[in-house]
Amino acid sequence: MTNLKQAILQGIPSELPEKKKKNPNVSHAPRRKDILNKEEKQLAIRNALRYFPEHMHAVLASEFAEELKTYGRVYMYRFMPNYEIIARNLENFPHKSKQAAAIQLMISNNLDSAIAQHPEELITYGGNGAVFQNWAQYLLCMQYLAQMTDEQTLVMYSGHPMGLFPSHKDAPRVVITNGMMIPNYSKPDDFEKFNALGVTQYGQMTAGSFMYIGPQGIVHGTTITVLNAARKIDATAEDLSGKIFVTAGLGGMSGAQAKACVIAKGVCIVAEVNSQATYKRHEQGWVDEVYKDLDELLDRAIAARKNKEAVSIAYDGNIVDLWEKVVERNIHIEIGSDQTSLHNPWAGGYYPVGMSYEATNEMMVNNPEQFKKEVQKTLVRHTNAINTLSERGMYFFDYGNAFLLEASRAGADILNKKGDFKYPSYVQDIMGPMCFDYGFGPFRWVCASNDAKDLAITDKIACDVLEKIMQHSPTEIKLQMSDNINWIKAAGENKMVVGSQARILYADAEGRMKIAEAFNNAIADGTISAPVVLGRDHHDVSGTDSPYRETSNIYDGSQFTADMAIQNVLGDSFRGATWVSIHNGGGVGWGEVINGGFGMLLDGTKDADRRLKSMLFWDVNNGISRRSWARNKEANFAIQRAMQMNPDLKVTMPNSADDGLIDSLDL
């Protein structure tokens, strides 16, 4: 047995391992809020010690107390494994169940130090998107996955592996809940408190559900968004060429913006306040050029627009300085947005202007009240600049990061006369009506051989399937189909794989089912050398209830309910998902969203064929039926098509009431 297998099977070591130093070459999470009183701190240490035998407690208690004091959380750095955590061929992971080995692969990818934002704090992206709360949970979870059979299910409570429970081969191998709270305890400080106690975590979307595939996962969605934004403001535009898109953020997801814009043939200016993140993206080739001088940067962008050059340009500084300079120089910007982490405004998601990065991190911890004031003052200046440029003709949209929400909470001039936000969210204007309502969403897969050759074969299979479907696609979805076909054709040469051999491809229910079926057949006949993991982002048709993002184009009042997301994960779990997850928070913030996802292993068997057909059909059409019931006409069209394709589907359809009749009522 390899050392890796032995180490995973060992779980929590029986003898105390050597104390470990933090790696200075990786990015570390900012110090978290010191929110617990003395008794609560004692409880946090008691909770952490639960994972270890008593003979280790004397050493660990003071060490964990020190971590709590220094970092605001107990990460248990001493227990970081000695082996490299990276995606590998699933046969390299110890297992009795191939499904469980595939989950080990996916966890390893989420924690790979080349991929994860703060790998040693087990954060994959979004500042606080955690895979686990501490290293003991990681060790235990990997051990359980290595030991389990296809007749057991691993139950995960916010990173904590509760244990293996007897089940059956059609049940999910893992059921994950992250951040589920009694609704009255879902305010941001509740998260800080219960996370510091070690009893909950913020799983974001694909972090705590083991489905992150690096920024590629979001490049495709961002490409679709900016392409359609360009078409929205210019009916003659095929793409973004000759247009400037200004935004902020070169982090986990936001890092995709620069690349997506170049793929869409535009000029992207992106501000990033954390120099480490800026230069990491530059080295990785995700952003082409970096400037510290705003005048030089803007001159370069204007020249690129004139020459219809596709280029991405980073500003190593604060977005508000950039916007104010654009206003001062009266430069026309076609499209603007923002992807700072405003879902997490008080703990490092958004940096106030006029202060150094280091000074801001200090203030966040030592003077949180002043920090909050600085953030809010900055948000007001940020909004003022955007308002001025929008009055001069810029199209601005919220990118699902809670910018509009937090700007309004900061008292910025962001509401119109009716009391609504002045600007649409990208889902209201673009992703909702053009993609989600038709069932198009971020379908993805990972080749469990970890072999690039397999990925190239899957790309070709997926492309062939979509081209065949497109021959009979109705005109309503032809543009989406052709964007997705163009994407998959160029995916290999765009070289977006970081970590696991993964691909994202927006597809509707028919596309997802037919691609999955073709993969399963190709695994059965040996064309693809090993199983394939299917999944998706939670940012999809059915998985997420989020009133300011995924469900912001629902107008029947139900955007504040979470029945769809809960129904979705329940339905996926008994239709054959290999693992399911449901989260509070993700994207727009704790208490603001419920989102769920799944993973499914295709192994070329008849069982896999049965499961994929049953589960993928539900996983898309659940959301379309809800969107149709909300009277969204595109969803109404799509669900009627789905009912024609499968006569066992019978969905309750809405009747429309006459506007005049409603207006005439004495209410």
Ligand X SMILES: NC(=O)c1ccc[n+]([C@@H]2O[C@H](COP(=O)([O-])OP(=O)(O)OC[C@H]3O[C@@H](n4cnc5c(N)ncnc54)[C@H](O)[C@@H]3O)[C@@H](O)[C@H]2O)c1
Contacts with ligand X by CB under 6 A lie at 117, 125-127, 218, 221-222, 248-254, 256, 271-274, 277, 318-319, 339-343, 349-351, 399-401, 539, 587
The distance of closest approach from Cβ of residue 13 to ligand X in the complex, given in angstroms and rounded to an integer, is: 32
Is residue 250 exposed (0-12), middle (13-18) or buried (19+ Cβ within 10 Å)?
Answer: buried
Whichever of 172 and 345 has its CB closer to ligand X, that residue is 345
Whichever of 64 and 125 has its CB closer to ligand X, that residue is 125
Whichever of 277 and 582 has its CB closer to ligand X, that residue is 277
Whichever of 320 and 522 has its CB closer to ligand X, that residue is 320
Dihedral sign, Cα of residue 296, residue 297, residue 303, residue 309:
positive
Whichever of 362 and 476 has its CB closer to ligand X, that residue is 362
Q: CA of 274: how far to CAs of 280, 282, 438, 503, 606, in Å?
A: 10, 13, 38, 28, 49
The distance of closest approach from Cβ of residue 443 to ligand X in the complex, given in angstroms and rounded to an integer, is: 15
The single-letter DSSP state of residue 424 is -
The distance of closest approach from Cβ of residue 39 to ligand X in the complex, given in angstroms and rounded to an integer, is: 32
The distance of closest approach from Cβ of residue 318 to ligand X in the complex, given in angstroms and rounded to an integer, is: 4
Strand order in the sheet with 244-248: 289-291, 311-316, 267-272, 244-248, 335-336, 395-396
Neighbours of 233 (CB within 10 A): 13
The single-letter DSSP state of residue 427 is I
The distance of closest approach from Cβ of residue 587 to ligand X in the complex, given in angstroms and rounded to an integer, is: 4
Whichever of 68 and 414 has its CB closer to ligand X, that residue is 414
The distance of closest approach from Cβ of residue 540 to ligand X in the complex, given in angstroms and rounded to an integer, is: 11
Residue 242 identity (one-letter amino acid): G
Whichever of 79 and 426 has its CB closer to ligand X, that residue is 426
Please state whether 142 falls in left (phi above 0), alpha (psi between -120 and 50) or beta: alpha
The distance of closest approach from Cβ of residue 124 to ligand X in the complex, given in angstroms and rounded to an integer, is: 9
Query: What would the two tokens of residue 606 be?
Result: 């008849």
CB 612, CB 591: distance < 8 Å: no
- Cα 654 to chain centroid distance, Å, stands at 32
Whichever of 351 and 579 has its CB closer to ligand X, that residue is 351
CB 501, CB 452: distance < 8 Å: yes
The distance of closest approach from Cβ of residue 229 to ligand X in the complex, given in angstroms and rounded to an integer, is: 12
Whichever of 26 and 651 has its CB closer to ligand X, that residue is 26
Whichever of 309 and 321 has its CB closer to ligand X, that residue is 321
Query: What would the two tokens of residue 308 be?
Result: 């219809």
Cα separation of 94 and 104, whole Å? 9
Query: What would the two tokens of residue 258 be?
Result: 């620069």
The distance of closest approach from Cβ of residue 120 to ligand X in the complex, given in angstroms and rounded to an integer, is: 16
Cα separation of 607 and 618, whole Å? 17
Three-class SS state of 314? strand
Name 397's Cβ contacts closer than 8 Å, sequence gap at least 6.
229, 335, 336, 337, 423, 424, 425, 426, 429, 430
The distance of closest approach from Cβ of residue 397 to ligand X in the complex, given in angstroms and rounded to an integer, is: 11
> What string of DSSP letters covers 14-79?
SSPPPP-PPPTTS--PPPPP----HHHHHHHHHHHHTTS-GGGHHHHHHHHHHHHHHHSS---GGG
Whichever of 274 and 605 has its CB closer to ligand X, that residue is 274
- Beta-bridged to residue 598, according to DSSP, are 580
The distance of closest approach from Cβ of residue 271 to ligand X in the complex, given in angstroms and rounded to an integer, is: 4
Cα separation of 257 and 263, whole Å? 10
The distance of closest approach from Cβ of residue 527 to ligand X in the complex, given in angstroms and rounded to an integer, is: 33
Helix-then-strand count for the chain, H and E: 23, 17
Per-residue buried b or exposed e for 581-597, using 16+ beta carbons within 10 Å of the residue's own CB = bbbbbbbbbbbbbbbbb
CB-based closest residue to ligand X: 251
Per-residue buried b or exposed e for 160-187, using 16+ beta carbons within 10 Å of the residue's own CB = bbeebeebeeebbbbbbbbbebeeeebe
Distance in angstroms between the alpha carbons of the first and the last residue of the chain: 75
CB 248, CB 272: distance < 8 Å: yes
Whichever of 52 and 125 has its CB closer to ligand X, that residue is 125
The distance of closest approach from Cβ of residue 252 to ligand X in the complex, given in angstroms and rounded to an integer, is: 3
